[in-house]
Amino acid sequence: MSEESLRPNLPPLALHVPEPRFRPGDPVDFAEVVIPPADAARRPDTSAQPAEFHELAYTLVRVLDEDNQAVGAWNPRLAPEVLRRMLRSMARTRAFDERMFRAQRQGKTSFYMKCTGEEAVAVAATLALDRDDMCFPSYRQQGILLTRDYPLVEMMNQIYSNRGDPLHGKQLPIMYSSKDTGFFSISGNLTTQYPQAVGWAMASAAKGDTRIAAAWCGEGSTAEGDFHSACTFAAVYRAPVIFNVVNNQWAISSFSGFAGAEATTFAARAIGYGIAGLRVDGNDALAVYAATRWAAERARTNQGPTLIEHFTYRAEGHSTSDDPSQYRSAEEATAWPLGDPIARLKAHLVAIGEWDDERHAAMDREVAEEVRAAQKEAEKNGVLGHGLHQPLDSLFDGVFEEMPWHLREQQAQMLAEEAASGRPWARK
């Protein structure tokens, strides 16, 4: 008798394939997104054990209420000048994105990625960290560099892979690296920065240092093995590290359900590892600042790692190679119920009498002009569309302290072939 005949009343097995609620042309209704009041989430002491506040992995830590006031236990009570600096850094980041996006469309570089709608995730978190803390970003946290006043011209030189590129044309555009700014080299391989951040944090603790590490990844990257390896090491050794998961709802063409969003929150992953977990309104700059500050204090007092899920929305395409209109409704970006981080912080400053529309418009003009002037200066060093800008023999540099024999042979062979071709392959 076959196995099938022994179970005549059972339906056949089936797999569940996640499907987003809205596709191109669909009307959008985010009514299922639960947004608690801004003062609803309690703020545990930074010495509390993670098991004491599991509910914070399922709600939303929020500070700005519907009247644009900062309320609740998580209110960081920042001075107006700090708020204005935060606002300017986010506006500057958006202006930088807009100009570099246009540069790619003009053929001046091959690739660019905007962070529109996610500026608070990088900017507010950076302001909450100390200047010498080490950041291990993904590819949508250019706001870290901009907040730490890394030169715009240097960022553009790297995007253009020109003669002034500090990375000598060896990185994909937008994959910055700046040790002096506490900005670890961006990798195109997803989530490699997570175990690197844990290793750096463990080394800092082993040396008796006081610096901590912070890492960022998208929600889809939590499905990568590196994410889970990092969480295991961080939990076991109580590494002084902050894990930032940027849940912006979409990867390049697949929605967050394919990474597990239908089952639970991304902050809930922390519970399984026994580490602190927070779910934060990622479009509320004050909430991002407060959560990061709280997590940083835990790390510095040897309470271990914290995982923060930033609940936000990717308002633009995944990159200049992406057309989001092919897989999501055009209404989503404007219907997102948590709004725009820049508009919300501006409204808060206006509400407390520390800002107005005229000053905001002037600031937008200033940062746009600053970015335009930096672009003009960077393009004096050339743009990617004009060809190679680095000496050809430098292709093999920067990998080993001393070049091994097999690379020296390859370098010599390449230069011989260039000479035989009768024309230079690169601008000298």
Tens of pLDDT, residues 370-427: 999 999 999 999 998 787 788 888 888 888 999 999 999 999 999 999 889 887 765 5
The pLDDT of 161-182, averaged and rounded, is: 94
Residues contacting 149, CB < 8 A, separation 6+:
none
Range name among 10-14, 76-80, 154-158, 306-310 with the lowest pLDDT average: 10-14
Instruction: For the beta carbon of residue 408, count every other beta carbon within 10 angstroms.
Output: 12
204 sits in which H/E element: helix 193-206
Looking at residues 167-176, what average pLDDT do you find?
93
For the ranges 10-14, 182-186, 205-209, the lowest mean pLDDT is seen at 10-14
Banded pLDDT at 28 (limits 50, 70, 90) = very high
Q: How confident is the model at residue 428 (pLDDT cuts 50, 70, 90)?
A: very low
SS3 98: helix
3-class SS at 15? coil
Q: Is the confidence at residue 107, as pLDDT, over 70? A: yes
Burial (Cβ within 10 Å: 0-12, 13-18, ≥19) of residue 46: middle
Range of weakest confidence among 100-104, 315-319, 384-388 = 384-388
pLDDT at 275: 98
Catalytic: which of 92, 211, 318, 389? 318
Q: In this model, does residue 298 exceed pLDDT 50?
A: yes
Assigned architecture for domain 50-320+332-384? 3-Layer(aba) Sandwich (3.40)
Dig out the tokens for 306 from the structure. 């914290």
Compute the radius of gyration of the chain from its Cα atoms. 24
Q: Which of 21, 58, 327, 359 is catalytic?
A: 327
Domain spans of the chain?
Answer: 50-320+332-384, 391-421
**Tokens at residue 388, please?**
């190679």
Q: What is the pLDDT of residues 30-43, one digit of tens each?
A: 999 999 999 999 99
Q: Establish whether 327 is a catalytic residue.
A: yes
- pLDDT averaged over every residue in the chain: 95
Active-site residue flag, 139: no
Q: Which residue spans within 248-376 are E strands per DSSP?
A: 276-281, 306-311
**CA–CA distance from 316 to each of 114, 155, 255, 270 (Å)?**
7, 21, 14, 29
139 φ, ψ (degrees, to nearest 5): -95, 10
pLDDT of residue 4: 59
pLDDT of residue 395: 86
What share of the chain in percent tops pLDDT 90? 89
Reported confidence tier of residue 1, pLDDT bands at 50, 70, 90: low
- Can 228 be counted among the known catalytic residues? no
pLDDT tens for residues 185-239? 999 899 999 999 999 999 999 999 999 999 999 999 999 999 999 999 999 999 9
Contact 240, 204 (CB under 8 A): yes
Identify the three-state secondary structure at position 227. helix
pLDDT band per the 50, 70, 90 thresholds, residue 7: confident
Strands (E), 109-202: 134-136
Active-site pick, 140, 310, 314, 360: 314
Amino acid type, 242: I
